[in-house]
């Protein structure tokens, strides 16, 4: 099948990250994908070669306003339209193919299956909304139907994306070799932790705890962008000082921008992962390591209910629930709760929770398919 996936980049790149992973996986399974993005530049480091057309089956097109008529005339029709995360397909694009469907040249062509690929949530209403129709009442495609498609964590949703080669890559992964390739020297006994976040208020007291004399050594791997800028600001304020033999209790490595496969490997290399947004949450679940998730903060605090629903699904132990609430600004950070991220027994509980969740998802995917499989199956049914 041929897919048109439309994506608008808001500000944190999770949207383009999810759309690229989905498009690349559909292409790897034999489909062709046109990915329309209003700001495709981040793909230069997220998926090297994508902008130059070096990914078989995926064509990245800049979504301008309006789309050039000459470009539209040269496009073969697609089988599927996907509006990702509530964006609206360009009206001139819809009008062009609606006109084509009415023309004599169209033969038996009908407008494609039209999907609204929604945000990821564990809230109960997602199961009720998944796969519901949404009649198109206005415009050149009036009378057609869109379909809501919700990714999710339960069999009654659209599942999560899992590339067909993911488990094999994970099984072959060598964390020591990965750290060496990135010139990261970790002291014996230090816990390796990844940090991908916005600007949580709890980060400063957490780094102060890890830097305090007598604390268990931590080597923090900080991702490029907002997380790196915020962590560097805090570490400068703390004034990290070398301890015995030039060692610090807290060592920090600031990473350059990683491609998506490299980010997966970062999670596999660490004993604790701090992640943010949708794409990295899914990757943390497949990694099966202890993790803490920061949701995108919303002005009306809607992310609080979203977090609680996820923690319920995760079957999170009490220590992990409290840490998540403080990490997401629902409670003021306290030394007692933040200390859990350095306690071996507590981290073992978090690891068991993550492994159990991963196993539940693996069982579900084996029985019903991942997000790409479920999408393709749904489209085939509607065609």
Are 263 and 284 spatial neighbours (Cβ–Cβ below 8 Å)? no
Domain containing 332 equals 166-366
* pTM for the structure as a whole: 0.95
In percent, the amount of the chain with pLDDT more than 70 equals 96
- Are both 50 and 138 inside the same structural domain? yes
Query: Is residue 60 one of the residues assigned to a domain?
Result: yes
Q: What is the pLDDT of residue 247?
A: 60
- Are both 134 and 34 inside the same structural domain? yes
Contacts by 313-317, CB closer than 8 A, 24 or more apart: 313/122, 313/153, 313/154, 313/357, 314/353, 314/357, 315/353, 315/356, 315/357, 316/353, 317/349, 317/350, 317/353
- Are both 151 and 244 inside the same structural domain? no
**What total number of domains does the chain contain?**
2
- Are both 61 and 28 inside the same structural domain? yes
- Are both 117 and 192 inside the same structural domain? no
- Are both 12 and 132 inside the same structural domain? yes
For 289-342, the pLDDT digits (tens) are 999 999 988 888 889 999 999 999 999 999 999 999 999 999 999 999 999 999
Query: Is residue 62 one of the residues assigned to a domain?
Result: yes
Q: What is the pLDDT of residue 106?
A: 59
Q: Can 265 be counted among the known catalytic residues? A: no
CATH classification of the domain holding 83: 3.40.50
Mean pLDDT across 354-368: 98
Q: Which of 15, 31, 118, 279 is catalytic?
A: 15
pLDDT at residue 243 is higher than 60: no
- Are both 152 and 178 inside the same structural domain? no
- Are both 144 and 191 inside the same structural domain? no
Q: Of 249 and 273, which is predicted with more confidence?
A: 273
Nearest to 59 by CA among 88, 27, 34: 34
Query: Is residue 383 one of the residues assigned to a domain?
Result: no
Query: Is residue 290 one of the residues assigned to a domain?
Result: yes
Q: What is the pLDDT of residue 248?
A: 76
For 30-56, the pLDDT digits (tens) are 999 999 999 999 999 999 999 999 999
Q: Can 15 be counted among the known catalytic residues? A: yes
Query: Is residue 253 one of the residues assigned to a domain?
Result: yes
Q: Which of 4, 25, 83, 278 is catalytic?
A: 278
pLDDT at residue 242 is higher than 70: no
């Amino acid at each position: 099948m041929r897919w048109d996936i439309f994506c608008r980049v808001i500000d944190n790149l999770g949207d383009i990250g999810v759309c690229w992973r989905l498009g690349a996986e559909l292409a790897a399974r034999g489909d062709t994908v046109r990915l329309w993005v209003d700001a495709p530049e981040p793909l230069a480091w997220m998926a090297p070669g994508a902008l130059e057309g070096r990914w078989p089956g995926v064509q990245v097109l800049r979504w301008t306003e309006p789309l050039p008529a000459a470009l539209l005339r040269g496009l073969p029709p697609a089988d599927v339209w996907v509006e990702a995360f509530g964006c609206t397909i360009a009206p001139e694009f819809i009008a062009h193919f609606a006109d084509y469907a009415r023309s004599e040249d169209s033969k038996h062509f009908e407008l494609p299956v039209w999907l609204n690929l929604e945000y990821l949530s564990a809230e109960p209403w997602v199961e009720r909304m998944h796969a519901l129709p949404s009649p198109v009442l206005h415009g050149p495609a009036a009378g057609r139907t869109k379909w809501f498609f919700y990714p999710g964590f339960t069999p009654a949703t659209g599942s999560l994306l899992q590339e067909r080669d993911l488990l094999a890559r994970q099984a072959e992964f060598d964390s020591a070799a990965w750290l060496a390739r990135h010139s990261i020297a970790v002291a014996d006994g230090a816990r390796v932790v990844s940090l991908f976040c916005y600007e949580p208020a709890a980060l400063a007291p957490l780094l102060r705890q890890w830097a305090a004399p007598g604390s268990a050594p931590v080597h923090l791997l900080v991702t490029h962008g907002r997380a790196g800028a915020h962590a560097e600001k805090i570490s400068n304020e703390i004034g990290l000082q070398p301890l015995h033999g030039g060692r610090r209790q807290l060592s920090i490595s600031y990473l350059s921008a990683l491609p998506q496969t490299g980010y997966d490997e970062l999670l596999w290399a660490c004993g604790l992962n701090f992640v943010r947004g949708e794409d990295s949450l899914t990757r943390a679940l497949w990694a099966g390591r202890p993790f803490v998730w920061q949701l995108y903060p919303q002005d009306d605090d809607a992310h609080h209910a979203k977090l609680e629903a996820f923690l319920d699904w995760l079957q999170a132990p009490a220590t992990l629930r409290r840490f998540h609430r403080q990490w997401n600004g629902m409670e003021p950070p306290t030394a007692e709760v933040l200390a859990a991220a350095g306690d071996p027994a507590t981290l073992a509980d978090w690891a068991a929770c993550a492994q159990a969740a991963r196993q539940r998802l693996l069982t579900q995917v084996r029985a019903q398919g991942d997000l790409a499989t479920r999408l393709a199956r749904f489209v085939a049914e509607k065609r």
